[in-house]
Amino acid sequence: MSYKKCNNCLNSNRLKAKFCDCCGSQDLTEINENNWLTKYANEPSNWLDNIQISSLPLVLNNEYKRLKEMAENDERYGILLQIRDVGEIMLKLPILVYSVNNNPQIYDGKDKETNEDKYLPLWSFMNNEMTLGSWIIAAARLAFEKGIKHEAISVLRQLQLKNSLFFYDKEKKVTAFNEWRNNEIGHGALGYADNEDFGDVLHMLNLITETLKKTIDDYNKLKDSINTESAPRIIYYDNMNPSHVYFYDSRYKKHGKLTDSYYYICYTEGKKTPPIALEDIPKHENIVGGDINV
């Protein structure tokens, strides 16, 4: 039966109740008859434990916790977007961290004679509008680059192994994550949320957690691996609000021409910035995780 659970005293109330019959609280959550998501959420073995979660880099830590909360609160539609965000962060973070270390300056596009490989993966960042597909290509190129030892590269390699989130299916020519995104949120036709296979949510939650279990030690090391001496503008913190981490997204094009302004995404806020000119991008003081880790 569907009902409203009181978050204050846990009393079960009628579905139409506005106040709790027992304590009068207005803090009620609707519990649906078919509670496949909350059932999944309440099984601890489906999630990283608290120690594991706390060892993730800050932005991933926050967003994974949010994912879990949304499942607990039975937010079936909202969780689709959160799955997308967590997946994107898992992919972009190691690429960005590696890029910061190895190409601390954004390539200005002026050095035309340069071998593009010297600037990988930033070269492709700077010369294209980045789609999810371009991030995947950057990840694949880095992962299979020989002779690089770096936590970020280990993460990227793991992400692409079988049964991981970004495993590339050669027959379908798509990664597990892209396939899910195309099928479930790309075309706007959402299924019926009462069904347990809605949005392939349970499968994706499982895939995210299993992939993180395999990569958690390397993600953990990313926290310490950013070179703070240089002025990387690829990931930065909002110094006024340290939980806001901005990820490089793409270069701003005006009338089809590249400009010296860039877009960033703050996943914590779920917002893309307006184009920011290179000289206005703050130098970050805090590195990924570090002393502001929660």
Stretch that binds Zn ion, among 14-22, 48-56, 89-97, 213-221 (CB under 5 A): 14-22
Nearer to Zn ion, 25 or 124 (CB): 25
CA 102 to chain CA centroid, Å, is 22
Binding-site member from 5, 20, 47, 125 for Zn ion (CB under 5 A)? 20
Size of the site for Zn ion (CB under 5 A): 8
Instruction: Give the chain's largest Cα–Cα span.
Output: 74
CA distance 69 to 38: 10
Task: Provide the sign of the torsion angle of the four alpha carbons 33, 36, 38, 39, taken in this order.
Answer: positive
Asked if 8 interacts with Zn ion (CB under 5 A), we say yes
Nearer to Zn ion, 14 or 253 (CB): 14
For residue 60, the cross-strand partners are none
Taken as a whole, the chain contains a residue count of 294
CA distance 84 to 77: 12
Nearer to Zn ion, 30 or 224 (CB): 30
Binding-site string for Zn ion from residue 21 to residue 60, where x marks contact by CB under 5 A and - marks none: -xx-x-----------------------------------
Give Cα separations from 62 to 26, 81, 86, 209, 244 (angstroms).
Answer: 27, 15, 10, 14, 10
Binding-site string for Zn ion from residue 157 to residue 176, where x marks contact by CB under 5 A and - marks none: --------------------
Counting Cα atoms < 13 Å in the Cβ hemisphere of 88 gives 20
Nearer to Zn ion, 6 or 59 (CB): 6
Q: List residues binding Zn ion (CB under 5 A).
A: 6, 8-9, 11, 20, 22-23, 25
